């Protein structure tokens, strides 16, 4: 049995306290208006000085001693604190909006710059089937014999840096690395294409079977 539930709390903590590039804040900060306390920080403990206490003092209830050391905030102080926290949350959300808008403007500028250079950019979205440019076709010796595009793949996610998470349509296996947006194009599905592909596969299987039988006959 997998032990992944044992690590779920630590993984969730890591995600909640990781600053996001598009917002400039951690998810925890956006939710509660403050940073998460470090997990290795213990709760504050009040230590009562016992030196010089008389036996009667030593028998006094500890809670009474603590009440003498800690003064509870007044209703006015609580109200001012709540107002201050609300103001801080509003300021955080304003900054978050500014960060998100700046990230979106950067994405638009990058898109327009690539489009101006002549790179063909498609409007892609999560759930679409796409083909990926086969970079081995250009970088590896003999790669010109390989297909220019691989796939099809299904888009799982597109992050703020226009890096795309993909999974193979055929077996649902997720790719280990994200792919640049400009390396993808929509996969145009057609029944004619499927019929021709099936014919090629059937022809290949038949020729492979004939070759195998001929080798068996020569033995």
pLDDT number for residue 54: 47
> What's the angle, vertex CA 92, arms to CA 91 and CA 94, rounded to 5?
65
Three-class SS of 32-77? HCCCCCCCCCCCCCCCCCCCCCCHHHHCCCHHHHHHHHCCCCCHHH
Chain-wide mean pLDDT for the chain? Answer: 74
pLDDT over 90 percentage in the chain: 5
DSSP strand pairing (184-186 vs 149-158): unpaired
Q: How far apart, in whole angstroms, are the C-alpha atoms of residue 168 and residue 154?
A: 6
Nearest CA to 163 out of 175, 146, 151, 149 is that of 175
Over residues 98-157, the pLDDT tens digits come to 988 888 888 888 777 766 665 566 788 899 999 988 876 555 555 556 778 888 999 998
pLDDT surpassing 60 at residue 55? no
The whole-model pTM stands at 0.40
pLDDT number for residue 154: 93
Span 42-51, average pLDDT: 44
- CATH topology assigned to domain 122-187: SH3 type barrels. (2.30.30)
Residues 156/168, Cβ–Cβ less than 8 Å: no
pLDDT number for residue 153: 92
Q: How far apart, in whole angstroms, are the C-alpha atoms of residue 61 and residue 212?
A: 92
Span 179-205, average pLDDT: 68
pLDDT number for residue 130: 92
Block residue for tokens 């796939």: 151
pLDDT number for residue 192: 56
Q: How far apart, in whole angstroms, are the C-alpha atoms of residue 4 and residue 88?
A: 37
Per-residue pLDDT band at 33 (split at 50, 70, 90): confident
Q: Which helix (H) or strand (E) holds 25?
A: none
Residues 156/177, Cβ–Cβ less than 8 Å: no
């Amino acid at each position: 049995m997998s032990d992944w539930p044992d690590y779920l709390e630590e993984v969730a903590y890591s995600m909640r306290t990781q600053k996001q590039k598009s917002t400039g804040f951690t998810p925890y900060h956006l939710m509660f208006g403050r940073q998460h306390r470090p997990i290795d920080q213990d709760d504050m403990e009040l230590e009562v000085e016992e030196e010089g206490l008389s036996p009667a003092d030593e028998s006094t209830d500890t809670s009474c001693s603590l009440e003498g050391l800690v003064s509870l905030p007044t209703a006015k102080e609580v109200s001012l604190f709540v107002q201050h926290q609300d103001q801080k949350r509003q300021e955080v959300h304003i900054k978050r909006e500014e960060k998100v808008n700046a990230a979106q403007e950067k994405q638009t500028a990058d898109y327009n710059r690539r489009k101006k250079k002549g790179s063909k950019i498609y409007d892609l979205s999560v759930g679409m089937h796409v083909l990926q440019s086969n970079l081995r076709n250009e970088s590896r010796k003999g790669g010109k014999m390989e297909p220019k595009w691989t796939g099809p793949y299904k888009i799982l996610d597109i992050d703020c840096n226009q890096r795309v998470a993909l999974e193979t349509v055929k077996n649902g296996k997720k790719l280990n690395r994200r792919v640049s947006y400009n390396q993808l194009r929509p996969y145009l599905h057609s029944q004619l294409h499927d019929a021709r592909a099936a014919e090629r596969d059937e022809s290949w299987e038949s020729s492979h079977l004939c070759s195998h039988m001929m080798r068996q006959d020569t033995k």
